[in-house]
Structure 1
């Protein structure tokens, strides 16, 4: 019999089965005839052994925090011994059968990951009870007793109880059962029964259907990836199920075992599916990933496989990652995690290609691809439709070919043979300064980057083979680099490659419905390659000390000429990288109705071409951050800013365009609503110019109808779903007074709403018309009439002073949010130059429920009037901007008053509602 866990040392320190068995024998003698009491004593004995064993495994993991394989084999060994002890105690002392029939036989097997001999501290114990035929009374008693005992031990058990025939039938019908049995392992019981089951499984289930198994397993993997975000570079990865995680490595082993009958991962080398070097990579990645998973289970005390932000910090500390070279310990840990996930991806590609070669030896490809026969291949050859090398030293003869192979693959729509990819990874070190300066290499790279076909796919191949990072060393510095925040969903390199892919799709018209303006502008650009290079470089200086926009602009000045760009193109790329955040910052944080906002933006942009380029860059940058970040509200704001800036740039005369826009909106409103000319003229005069600029035409119509219907009423509130913004529009028409804004903000929060934007307008007759865009805490809109009524009622109560607003808010429990994993020091910026009429206040703080109310209350206490508020959220960080004046309508100039205002806002940004209550 093969010894299980041969590499595991000091086994008796984990569990001494012989000593425990002796103690159970003594217990059986002491409690003979009292089955229930004896079972309780046995469970107590085994529970003590389980806890002691767990502590020993945890101690070993703490001593070697990156050696996960040792920990999972040690824990699997511990469970093995407990199951053997329990089986013997159950069959010998609890339900002894002196004269068993041939049907009264049981074998206990481990299946799934446990069958592979691997178990994280809180994983399920996956076992199977197999009997020759239908279970007898005795076998049912034994199985039931063992399961109750295991549950009493606190173990989570995944179990099945079947006859051999049932096992075969289920394995043929169900992929999950088949996969679990593929890794089955004998634990204890009738050995002959296990051997019969194993041989029948091999002959009846596995024989002759390897292709079907591989197809089903790959389809299952693809579905799992899609469910987990379809990228190995998501910033909160699932260590077990995510792309590049443990399950991907296990899938390789399952396929290899099914096709080639290998018994261990090391055997994959003997059958040609991995090289010795690739086996070492497999084992190293698996060791690290298992270590991470074990730490997650230990920290949380449960089967937790998602590496969330709060757990990243503690795991990095436990695994001894410390800050270095401008990166924090957690960023270095996550970078190492993603590099291991990348290795898993590389191994998967090579493994599947080897498998393809094995399973389609006569020219038919098992894994589908397109077949093309291009005439000119620059010395490369085709191997069953894939680009391959004529000799193993082909790259070494001319390292520029490391770039040319990817350009050829893109040009002809070919995939690259895995042996060529492996050679590229091996020979990427040959890319030195001379290769980087070679015009052929730079032309090949630029061809791929600006390809009208599929640059994202080919750049990802280039990145996975390390050629990308070697050829552009500054890009190599951001490979697998995460940003420790809740806003960015991907590592910097993955974000960049996705942004390039999005730009390509927009240019091809594939995203016209989402981005009609950008799609139109792409066809009108003077230099499209300028934009592609700018997208490549916009985040290239992330993770360095200093402003990444400024540092990236300096990199562009050096790199662009090398790539073959002209001096004018280089200057434009450098400008785009330097100001790639300008448009989003202006659109989301500033009042676009304030004309100086537009003029300051135009002063920076200076040309219509730059405006087009900057819009397209901004769109793909935001959308490539991650799913759900781009929305119709952001599209609207960016569109408004683009139109206003284009108008100024096109007209040249700065005031004319604004007057024309106001007049055009007033005329559109007059046509849209049924109002007598005299009444419309009165309404028009009541509304200030800033109102006409700020609000889109549909809101103008909505507000006008609201004002008309309200008549002489001092208060009118409306709430309705607003699909154009993916939010609920709450409109308050009321007598203006300084506390109006903070009271409405507090009421909306009390009703369960989250304000994403606020436009506050004081009319010329002392009334206010305020528009709030509101979402629920998960980013959705309120649809239910009951929810809309609740918001309206809460605002009415607040404005009528029917309750102490702050008291109610303080009593309301604030939900814990993931943002609490991050420490964000509040910051208040007060700018008297950003507007001709207003003091502009920008507050940066950790996002939390009712933050806007706290800030609005602080402004009220400071006796300032809020004219507009702009709320932007970047993951865990909130940026709220207010345009304010003093109560007489002037800017706040007094140094002492500005200091008091800053202090109050800092306190509000960093406090909870209860502290706000104490100050009030």
Structure 2
């Protein structure tokens, strides 16, 4: 009999089965004839043994925090012994059967991951009870008693009870059952019954359908990846199910076991599906990923497999990752995680290539290929439709070929054979400073980067082979580097490659509805390769402990000449990298109806070509951050800024200047309203120029209907779904007074809303027309009539002083948010130069419910008037900007008043809502 868990040491420190068995035998003597008390005593004894065993496994993990295999093996061993003790106690003492028939036999098997001999601390205990035929009364009693005892032990049990025939039938019909049984392992009971089941499974289920199994498992894997975000570089990865996680490694083993009948991962080497080096990589990645998963279970006390931000911090600490060289401990830990996830991806590719080669020799293949034969391949060859090497030393003979293989693959639309990728990974160290300066190498790299075909795919191959990082050492520094925040969904290298891919798709006209302006501008850009290089370099200096825009510009100044760019192109790339955040910061955090905002922006941009390049770079940078970050609201704000800036840069060449734009908007609105000139003139002269510039045509129409319908009413509130922005538009038309903004903000929060933007206007006769864009706390719009009514009623109650809103807000429990995993020091910036008319106040703080209300209340207490508010969130960080004046309409100039304003805003930004309001 093969010894289970041969590498596990000090087994009796985990659980001493013999000693516990003796204790149970003594208990049986003590409680003879009282099976209920005996079962309770057995469970109590096993519970104590389970708790002590778990504590020992936890101590071992704490002592060796990166050795996950040891922990999961130890825990599987512990569960084995618990099950054996329980089985013996149940069949010998609780339900003894003197003369069992041949049908009264049970084999207890472990299936799934537990069958493989691996268990995280809170994983399900997946077991099967096998009987020869239909269960008898005795077998039913034993199985039911064991299950109740396991549940009483607090274990989460996945179980099945089947005859051998039923097991075969289920395995043939269900892929999940077939996969679980593939790793079935004998635990206890009738061994002959287990052996018969194993032999029949091999003969009746596995024989002759390996190809179908592989196809199904690969399809299942693809579906799982899509569900989990389809990238191994998402910043909150699922350690078990995500791309590059444990399930991917297990899938390789399942396929190898099904096709070649291997019993262990090490045997994959013997059958040619892994090399010795790849086996070591497999085991190292698996060890680390298991360690992470065990820590997650231990920290949370449950089967938690998602590495969320709050758990990343504690896991990194437990695994003893400390900060160094500009990176925090958690960032170093996550970088190591992603490097291991990358290894899993690389292993998957070479494993499937080996499998493909095996099946090709047998005349059939698992993985489809492209069969095309271009004539000129620069010395490379085709191996069943994929680009490969004529000899194993091809790269060593001329290391420039390490770049050229990717250029050839791009040019001819070919896949690269995994054996060639593996050789490139092995030989990437041949890329020295000499090769980096080689004109052929740089031309090949630039050809891939600026390809009109599919640069994203080829750059990803180049990155996964490590050639990318070797050729551009600055890029190597950001490979697998995560940013510990809720805004960025991917690692820096993945974000960058996705941005290049988005730029290519926009250029090819594939995203005209999402990005109409960028699509139009790509055809007008004169410096195409400047744009692609700037996208590549915009984040290349992240993680260096300084301003990555400034540091990145320095990288660009050194790298661009090497790539073959002219001095003028180099200057433009460096400028774009230096200012790649300027356009989004201006559009999202400043009032675009304030003419000085536009002039200050144009003063930095200076040319129409730079403006076009910056717009395209900004769009792909934002969209490549992750799903859901780009939206129509951002598209409109960037478009408005572009249009306004272009008018200034091309003065005299545009038909519509600022004044002309206002006239056109007014003419369009009058036609839509269908009212005569006198009525419209009376209406339009009430509204300042800034209002006409700030609001788009559809909002102008909605506001005009609202104002005209309100007539002489002192208060009118409207709330409606606004699909163009994916939000609810709330409009308040009321007599203006200093507390109006904070009261409306508080009421919207009380109604369950989250303000994402506010545009505040005052008519020339002292009436406020304020537009708020509101979403629910999860980023969706309010749709139902009840929700819209609740918002209207809450605002009306607040403005009518029907209740003490501050008391209600302070009493309202605030939901805990994921943002609480981050510490952000609040910061207040007050600028009297950004606008000719207003004092501009920018507040940076951790995002939380009612933050905007707290800030608005602090402004009210400081006796300032808010003229516009601009709310931007970057994950856990909120950046709220207010354009304010004193109560007489002037800028706030007094040093004492500015200091008081800053202090109040800092208190509001840093405290909880109750604390901020107590001081109100």
**TM-score of the pair, normalised by structure 1:** 0.99
Q: Secondary structure at the match of 1:86?
A: helix
TM-superposed CA distance for 1:656, in Å, is 7.7
Give the corresponding residue for 2:297.
297
Counterpart position of 2:813: 813
- SS, match of residue 18 in structure 2: helix
Where do 1:712-731 residues align within 5 Å? 712-731=712-731
| SS of alignment partner, residue 773 of structure 1 | strand
User: Which residues of 2 match residues 229-244 of structure 1 at below 5 A?
Assistant: 229-244=229-244
2:716 is paired with a residue of what secondary structure? strand
Answer yes or no: is 1:705 the counterpart of 2:722: no
What residue number does 2:677 align with?
A: 677
Q: Tell me, yes or no, if structure 1 residue 877 matches structure 2 residue 892.
A: no
- How far apart in 2 are the matches of 1:673 and 1:728? 23
Contact 2:111 2:181 survives alignment (8 Å): yes
Distance 1:361 1:588 in 2: 59
Give the Cα–Cα distance (whole angstroms) in 2 for the partners of residues 130 and 197 of structure 1. 8
Aligned to 2:334: 334
Matches of 1:241 and 1:564 in 2, distance apart? 43
* 1:676 shift after superposition: 2.5
CA contact (8 A) 2:327 2:545 kept: no
Residue 659 of structure 2 corresponds to 659
Matched with 1:159 is 159
Distance 2:528 2:313 in 1: 42
8 Å CA contact 1:365, 1:384 repeated in 2: no
Q: Per-residue deviation at 1:915?
A: 1.0
Provide the rounded CA distance (Å) in 2 between the counterparts of 1:446 and 1:367: 31
Contact residue 214 and residue 366 of structure 2 kept, 8 A? no
Distance in 1, matches of 2:723 and 2:475, equals: 40
In 2, Cα distance between equivalents of 1:369 and 1:897: 71
Whether the 8 Å contact between 1:363 and 1:384 is mirrored in structure 2 is no
Equivalent-residue separation in structure 2 for 1:99 and 1:878 (angstroms): 74
Name whichever of 132-141 and 354-363 sits farther off. 354-363
TM superposition shift of 1:242: 0.3
SS in 2 for 1:841: strand
Cα contact 2:260–2:271 (8 A) shared by 1: yes
- In the other structure, the counterpart of 1:380 is 380
Cα displacement (A) at 1:372: 1.0
Pair 1:85 & 2:77 matched: no
Displacement of 1:731 in angstroms is 0.5
Alignment of 1:203-218 (within 5 A): 203-218=203-218
The alignment partner of 1:188 has SS state of strand
Q: Does 1:919 align with 2:914?
A: no
Q: Which residue of 2 aligns with 1:74?
A: 74
> Which residue in 1 is equivalent to 2:253?
253
In the TM superposition, what whole-angstrom CA distance separates every residue of 1:634-676 from its partner, at most 9, and x where no partner exists?
Answer: 1111111111111111115999811111111111111111222
Partner SS, residue 415 of structure 1 = coil
- Give the equivalent residue in structure 2 for 1:634: 634
C-alpha distance in structure 2 between counterparts of 1:570 and 1:793, whole Å? 58
| TM-fit CA distance, 1:156 | 0.2
Q: Deviations for 1:17-73, whole angstroms, at most 9, x for unmatched residues?
A: 000000100111111111111111000000000000000000000000000000000
Three-state SS of the structure 1 residue aligned to 2:685 is: helix
Kept in 2: contact 1:386–1:415 (CA 8 A)? yes
Partner SS state of residue 737, structure 2: coil
Query: What is the 5 A alignment of 1:871-910?
Result: 871-910=871-910
CA distance in 2, matches of 1:457, 1:168: 43
The 8 Å contact of residues 84 and 188 in structure 2, kept in 1 or not, is answered as yes
Q: Per-residue CA shift, 1:260-279, capped at 9, x if unaligned?
A: 00000000000000000000
Alpha-carbon distance in structure 2 between the residues aligned to 1:835 and 1:481: 38
Aligned-pair CA distance for 1:370: 1.5
Equivalent pairs counted in the alignment come to 920
> Contact 2:215/2:366 (CA < 8 Å) preserved in 1?
no
CA distance in 1, matches of 2:831, 2:466: 46
- SS class of match (1:724): coil
Contact 1:648 1:654 in 2 (8 A): no
Q: 1:432: which partner in 2? A: 432
SS in 1 for 2:657: helix
Q: How does 1:126-165 map to 2 (within 5 A)?
A: 126-165=126-165
- Flag the 1:710–1:3 CA change in 2: closer, same or farther, 3 A: same
Taking the TM superposition and a 5 Å limit, the aligned residue runs for 1:768-783 are: 768-783=768-783
Q: Equivalents in 1 of 2:105, 2:297: separation in Å?
A: 36
What SS does the corresponding residue of 2:105 show, helix, strand or coil?
coil
Residue 158 of structure 2 aligns to a residue whose secondary structure is: strand
- How far apart, CA to CA, are the structure 1 residues paired with 2:272 and 2:653? 73
Deviations 1:494-520 (A, max 9, x none): 000011111111111111111111111
Match of 2:448 in 1: 448
The residue that corresponds to 2:853 in the other structure is: 853
Distance in 2 between residues matched to 1:656 and 1:161, nearest whole Å: 78
Q: Hey, what's the Cα distance between the residues in 2 that align with 1:498 and 1:159?
A: 43
> How is 1:406-421 mapped onto 2 (pairs within 5 angstroms)?
406-421=406-421
Shift of 1:366: 2.5
Aligned equivalent of 1:105: 105
**1:610 counterpart = 2:606:** no
- 2 CA distance for matches of 1:627 and 1:250? 28
**Per the alignment, do residues 842 and 655 of structure 1 end up closer, same or farther by CA in structure 2, a change over 3 Å counting?**
farther
Instruction: Name the counterpart of 1:390.
Output: 390
Q: How far has the Cα of 1:362 moved from its partner?
A: 6.0
Contact 1:806–1:913 under 8 Å retained in 2: no
Q: d(CA) in 2 for partners of 1:280 and 1:808?
A: 61
CA distance in structure 1 between the aligned counterparts of 2:354 and 2:869, rounded to whole angstroms: 59
Cα distance in 1, alignment partners of residues 870 and 558 from structure 2: 38
- For 2:763 and 2:364, the matched residues in 1 are separated by 75
Contact 1:832-1:891 at 8 Å conserved across structures:
yes
Where 1:686 maps in the other structure, the secondary structure is: coil
Q: Secondary structure at the match of 2:128?
A: strand
Partners in 1 of 2:390 and 2:764 — Cα distance? 80
Q: CA offset at residue 765 of structure 1? A: 0.4
Gaps of 5+ in 1: none
Structure 1 range deviating more: 672-681 or 188-197: 672-681
1:694 aligned partner: 694
Match for residue 359 of structure 1?
359
In structure 2, what is the equivalent of residue 458 of structure 1?
Answer: 458
Q: Is the 8 A contact 1:819 1:876 kept in 2?
A: yes
Matches within 5 A, 1:756-771: 756-771=756-771
Give 3-state SS (helix, strand or coil) of 2:650's partner.
helix
| Mapped contact 2:244–2:345 kept (Cα < 8 A) | yes
Partner SS, residue 734 of structure 1: strand
Alpha-carbon shift at residue 598 of structure 1 (Å): 0.6
User: How far apart, CA to CA, are the structure 1 residues paired with 2:299 and 2:426?
Assistant: 38
SS of equivalent to 1:128: strand
Match status 1:668 vs 2:662: no
Residue equivalent to 1:796: 796
Q: Deviations over 1:877-916 (max 9, x none)?
A: 0000000001111100111110010000000001112112
Give the deviation of 1:361 after TM superposition: 1.7
For the pair 1:283 / 2:287, whether they are aligned, the reply is no
Cα contact 2:854–2:917 (8 A) shared by 1: no
CA distance in 2, matches of 1:251, 1:511: 35
Secondary structure at the counterpart of residue 520 of structure 2: helix
What is the distance in 1 between the residues matched to 2:603 and 2:872? 24
Q: Give how far 1:917 is off.
A: 2.5
RMSD of aligned alpha carbons? 1.0
Which residue is equivalent to 2:582? 582
Deviation at 1:365, TM superposition (A): 4.1
Q: Secondary structure at the match of 2:758?
A: strand
Counterpart CA distance in 1 for 2:870 and 2:389 is: 57
Bigger shift: 674-683 or 456-465?
A: 674-683
Structure 2: distance between partners of 1:726 and 1:30: 70
Q: Are 1:117 and 2:117 counterparts?
A: yes
> d(CA) in 2 for partners of 1:82 and 1:230?
39
Structure 2 length as normaliser, TM-score? Answer: 0.99
Larger CA deviation: 365-374 vs 793-802? 365-374
Q: 1:653 to 1:831 in 2, by over 3 A?
A: farther
Any stretches of 5+ residues in structure 2 without a counterpart? Answer: none
Give the 3-state SS of the residue equivalent to 2:916 in structure 1. helix
Matched, 1:563 2:555: no
